[in-house]
Amino acid sequence: MAKTPAQRIKKHGAKAVVPQHQLPPVVNPTTNRTPEKAQGNSNLIVIAGVVASLFLFWYLHLLTLDQLTQLTKGLAMPDSLIGGFDPAYIGRLQGEMNGDALGQLNYVHKTAGTLFPLIFGFTWLLLIGTNVARKALRWALWAVPMLFVVVRLWGNVAIDAMLASEGPDGGQVAMASGLTVAGWVLLVLSLLAGAAAVFLNRRMRNEA
């Protein structure tokens, strides 16, 4: 049975041979994660988010909502009306939409209608965050896509409630129309905010 170092010292004194124990080498003691690599990883996520946002926008507005007009004799869905709508238009739309059409629109709102603003909003927050260093300016630009997400999701609920009512209620129509117009305006402003963030970042790099 092997003796412990203490037992060897007790038996042989100063002549005891005590084996030297070495700690295992530290795995990866240094890191190669530079700010440039971190920026590159963020850029890859932003690019993926932009591609996903473009696809979802096409799928939602240019494909699915457009196809639903086949069930309404060509009347566009409220989500597609950039300039808003009035009670008269909603009354005509309700006259053409049966339970199946309403169910399909509600399903679209719960799927692509929810995914698009969430993915777009997350992508634009990351885009602005990685390009704007000043905290106050970053938060000011962040406010636009965050408002867009809230307004678009709220607009989905408002449109479903409006179309599910017995007739065109003036208050519901005004709210849904206002949210729809605000959603389109905030989408454009979000695009401009993202472009401004990229422009400011490049300008600072050129001045450095």
Q: What is the DSSP letter of 1?
A: -
pLDDT at 161: 96
pLDDT at 164: 94
Indicate the number of domains in the chain: 1
Report yes or no on 53 lying in a domain.
Answer: yes
| CA separation for the pair 55, 139 (Å, rounded) | 27
Report yes or no on 150 lying in a domain.
Answer: yes
pLDDT at 38: 61
pLDDT at 207: 76
Report yes or no on 145 lying in a domain.
Answer: yes
Report yes or no on 7 lying in a domain.
Answer: no
Report yes or no on 30 lying in a domain.
Answer: no
DSSP per residue, 75-112: PPPGGG-TT---HHHHHHHHHH--HHHHHHHHHHHHTH
Q: Residue 136's domain spans which residues? A: 43-207
Q: What is the DSSP letter of 153?
A: H
pLDDT at 12: 61
Report yes or no on 60 lying in a domain.
Answer: yes
pLDDT at 126: 96
Nearest residue to 161 (alpha-carbon basis) of 150, 149, 173: 173
pLDDT at 19: 55
Where would I find the beta strands (DSSP E) of 125-175?
none
Q: Is residue 8 a contact partner of residue 17, using CB atoms and an 8 Å limit?
A: yes
- Helical spans, DSSP H, in the chain: 5-12, 35-57, 65-68, 87-96, 99-110, 112-131, 135-164, 170-207
User: What is the per-residue pLDDT across 104-142, written as a single tens digit (0 to 9) for each?
Assistant: 999 999 999 999 999 999 999 999 999 999 999 999 999
pLDDT at 42: 83
- Total number of residues shown for the chain: 208
Report yes or no on 188 lying in a domain.
Answer: yes
pLDDT at 14: 55
| CA separation for the pair 141, 74 (Å, rounded) | 38
pLDDT tens, N- to C-terminus, the chain (208 residues): 555 656 666 666 555 555 555 545 555 555 555 656 666 788 899 999 999 999 999 999 999 999 999 999 999 999 999 999 999 999 999 999 999 999 999 999 999 999 999 999 999 999 999 999 999 999 999 999 999 999 999 999 999 999 999 889 999 999 999 999 999 999 999 999 999 999 998 888 887 6
